[in-house]
A and B are shown apart, each in its own frame.
Chain A
Amino acid sequence: MSHSARCGPSQRKGEHVSDEVVAEMVANVWKVVVAMGDRVDDGDTLVILESMKMEIPVVTESAGTVAELRVVEGDVVQEGDVIAVIE
């Protein structure tokens, strides 16, 4: 059983391929694991959410660079909110 939330569909932005990683449910942001500019690989954990007493690692499905990080620890995210953008 996998408990991690996967990222949303990829989008094209100009010539670059960028992936938006979105929240799958209402949750509190417990830990931000990566920083802007970090290199990440498929399967890496970006942030750890917490919802209903469960920790939910949010992982990227694409390799690249963390181009945007839209949450800080303690934030509340809604379902569908963009957490990070990987380019």
Chain B
Amino acid sequence: MFTSVLVANRGEIARRVIRTARRMGLRTVAVYSSADAELPYVREADEAVPIGPAAPAASYLDMDAVLAAARRTGAQAVHPGYGFLAESATFARRVLGAGMTWVGPPPAAIESMGEKVNARNLMAEAGVPVAGGTRQPVTEVAAALDAARALGYPLMVKAVAGGGGIGMSVVHDEGGMRSAFGTARTRAERFFGNPGILLERYLEHARHVEVQIVGLPDGRVLALGERDCSVQRRHQKVAEETPSTGVTPELRQRMVAAAVRAGQAVGYRNLGTVECLVDPVAQDFVFLEMNTRLQVEHPITELVTGIDLVEQQLLLAGGQPVTIEAAAGASGVPAGGHALELRVYAEDPRRFLPSPGTIRAWEEPRGEGVRVDAGYEAGSVVTQYYDPLLAKLCTWGADRSEALARARHAVAAFVIEGPRTNLPFHAELLAHPDFVSGTYDTGLVARMRATP
């Protein structure tokens, strides 16, 4: 097992990985851009290396800079967190090529899942249900219109190499396709360096539910339940919960079995997430994509299973005996119950527009069943260079109503002054009849904002 790990990320996830790695007795190395020098994770690592200016392309996405930092500090392993280089097969190969351990799946698995059209085709071959869609990337509007005529509207237009909801849009007719396609292709090229577009049948009133999987060294793939991520704005998640209120035990069983097949089909190792769209009325689902990394919302799975997923990632990468089943019983946290994650963003709570700025006051809520994973503290500067995630406010309860009640108290008690935040949105969400009853779908936030 390696004895040191470099965390190739920033903010809350760097801090979260460093916390577990230090508890395991590993020496931790942080990397930071000039904009992040004062953030808590930089101070909390055993060593911290500056890797460049604020712009991500010149720092957190600069493979040479990250690898140089690893070599200079003698780091034996690299944990990529999520985002940035986490799903770059090239980076994973370079880490391995430099003789270090990659804390993630094999590069080939990252590659086969990284391109959405290829991933869908692979899944269909493995017997995992997929929505109707293009079987090859589309790059010309004429071809898109032809494909759309065959598939039927509404369609989701998305970058084959994309992620994070960027450049995604729903089109309802030919006019919509003509205007959306060019924008999607421009963004796909700009953000992901690949102009290929996937057209996929869009399911209205669907829920977004994902299954956490773990690939073991002997080829077995385990599932650790699901997370419901249907509360979204701009196709990006804002709140998640587990278990999902939209799937029956029978559907859960089918989804879990499909997720395990998906993992086995690509020889998956380490942690991954299989995202699905669920039709709650028909109680049916289709494969959406697979995220070959730790997921932002992993804490809610940790809260209901008692498993430290980052610890499992590090143990698996280090070739240590699997402790997943044992960890579930030994952690002292009761398995079961209900968990909720609210993403606290630096954005105005009505229009969700970014709001960078200096944090003047920061007081985290505490209490039974409350967990806060934060990247910032009082005095931190939230810059425009990175995503707006300030903290993840998670609550656990013996049942859903207890988890929600704790979340309401915690939202009211969370003090953040400086940037505007979406905490008022979360208070609204936690009081919304559709959320409280658990009958919401991915259209919830748009409906909340459509009513004046």
Known: A25-B355, A51-B354. A1 touches B166 (CB 8 A): no
Kindly supply a per-residue 1/0 record for chain A positions 73-87, scoring 1 wherever the CB is within 8 Å of any chain B CB and 0 otherwise: 000100000000000
A window 29-79: CB within 8 A of B: 50-56, 76
Report the bound CA distance from A26 to B356 in whole Å.
6
Instruction: Scan residues 1-48 of chain A and give those whose CB is less than 8 A from a CB of chain B.
Output: 1-3, 5, 24-28
Partner of A51, one of B166, B234, B356: B356
Task: Tell me whether A26 and B353 are in contact (CB under 8 A).
Answer: no
Asked if residues B351 and A25 are in contact (CB atoms below 8 Å), the reply is no
Chain A residues with CB below 8 A from B383, complex form: 26
Q: Which of B126-134, B148-156, B215-223, B384-392 contacts A (4 or more CB under 8 A)?
A: B384-392
Q: Which of B400-448 contact A (CB under 8 A)?
A: 446
Say yes or no: A25-B354 contact (C-beta < 8 A), given A53-B386, A53-B387. Answer: yes
Nearest CB of chain A from residue B150's CB, rounded to whole Å = 31
Is the beta-carbon distance between A25 and B352 smaller than 8 angstroms? no
Given the known A-B contacts A1-B449, A3-B353, A26-B356, are A53 and B346 also in contact in the complex, defined by CB atoms under 8 Å? no
What 1/0 mask marks residues of chain B from 270 to 282 whose CB sits below 8 Å from any chain A CB? 0000000000000
B165 nearest CB across to chain A (Å): 10
- CA of A28 to CA of B300, assembled, Å: 34
A76 contacts across to B, CB distance below 8 A: 384
Tell me if B164 is interfacial: C-beta within 8 Å of chain A. yes
A28 vs chain B, min Cβ distance (A):
6
Contact check, A26 vs B384: say whether CB atoms are below 8 A apart: yes
Q: Which of B166, B352, B357, B446 contacts A53 (CB 8 A)?
A: B166
Confirm or deny: B226 has a beta carbon within 8 angstroms of a beta carbon on chain A: no
**Assembly CA distance A24 to B353 (angstroms):** 9
Q: Which residues of A contact B353 (CB under 8 A)?
A: 3, 5, 24-25, 54, 56
Q: How far is the CA of A55 from the CA of B184 in the complex (A)?
A: 13
Q: Is the C-beta of B347 less than 8 angstroms from some C-beta in chain A? A: yes
B384–A2 touching, CB < 8 Å = no
A51 touches B384 (CB 8 A): yes
Name the residue among B357, B383, B384 with the largest chain A CB count within 10 angstroms: B384
Residues of chain B in range 219-250 having any CB-CB distance to chain A below 8 Å: 233-234
> Which residues from chain B contact A54 at a C-beta distance below 8 Å?
234, 353-354, 388
B97 nearest CB across to chain A (Å): 30
A-B pairs, 10 with minimum CB distance: A52-B354, A51-B384, A51-B354, A52-B388, A26-B356, A26-B384, A53-B387, A1-B449, A27-B384, A25-B354
9 A–B pairs (Cβ distance < 8 Å), ordered by A? A1-B351, A3-B234, A25-B353, A26-B356, A52-B347, A52-B354, A52-B387, A53-B166, A53-B387
Q: A53-B388, A56-B354, A76-B384 are in contact. List 7 more A-B contacts (CB 8 A).
A: A1-B352, A1-B449, A1-B450, A25-B353, A25-B356, A52-B346, A52-B386
